[in-house]
Amino acid sequence: MSDFLLILVSTVLVNNFVLVQFLGLCPFMGVSNKLETAMGMSLATTFVLTISSVCSYLVHQYLLIPFSLTYMKTIAFILVIAVVVQFTEMVVRKTSPMLHKVLGIFLPLITTNCAVLGVALLNIKKMNSFMESIVFGFGAAVGFSMALILFSAIRERIAVADVPSPFKGAAIGMVTAGLMSLAFLGFTGLVQI
């Protein structure tokens, strides 16, 4: 149990996907203008990341390894992610139209989110077990969500702040992201895995 807790803390704080490993920067900069959309995006990403890390583990374990095709894992994982995203969109549209309205445009965007592919590949690299893969995927998603929501909350305040005109918009966003990244590097050494 404590193993899982360590993985969770490690992926959320120490090896935060966005701020330490610099994966999934596109939605991090692109969807963080408003807190509401950031929350929608993090919800969708959490869901897809967890499911796709499970699916890609299964595909790797029971399809690629027996046929000794592990060198095809990138292509296979891209396929898995695309299918999971598409399937998720269908299910959400059917079961909860409200959630579909909130997540709507973000779901297809996740297909090209490198954090999702990164989690799948890192799971293989770290030789995680099935449960560990789930926790790792979920932890990565929580870390992504936390970084995205914190960053968008900061950006909402920056939008009304008196920023020098050369720094307005994306520039001050980049500076802020850099500072947040520095702050998260402070967690290094909290846990060792």
Residues binding another protein (CB under 8 A): 59, 63-64, 67-69, 72, 75-76, 79-80, 83, 86-87, 90-91, 93-94, 97
Residue in 120, 118, 98, 109 with CA at minimum distance from that of residue 28: 109
CB 10 within 8 A of CB 191: yes
Give residue 146's identity as a one-letter amino acid code. Answer: M
Least CB distance from residue 62 to another protein, whole Å?
A: 11
Cβ within 8 Å of residue 64, ≥6 positions away: 70, 72, 73, 76
Kindly tell me which of 79 and 149 has the beta carbon lying closer to another protein. Answer: 79
Kindly tell me which of 76 and 163 has the beta carbon lying closer to another protein. Answer: 76
Least CB distance from residue 112 to another protein, whole Å?
A: 18
Kindly tell me which of 96 and 188 has the beta carbon lying closer to another protein. Answer: 96
> Is 192 strand, coil or helix?
coil
Least CB distance from residue 46 to another protein, whole Å?
A: 21
Least CB distance from residue 169 to another protein, whole Å?
A: 24
Give residue 110's identity as a one-letter amino acid code. Answer: I
Cβ within 8 Å of residue 79, ≥6 positions away: none
Kindly tell me which of 82 and 163 has the beta carbon lying closer to another protein. Answer: 82
Cβ within 8 Å of residue 121, ≥6 positions away: 73, 74, 77
Number of alpha carbons in the 13 Å side-chain half-sphere of residue 23: 24
Least CB distance from residue 75 to another protein, whole Å?
A: 7
Kindly tell me which of 6 and 109 has the beta carbon lying closer to another protein. Answer: 109
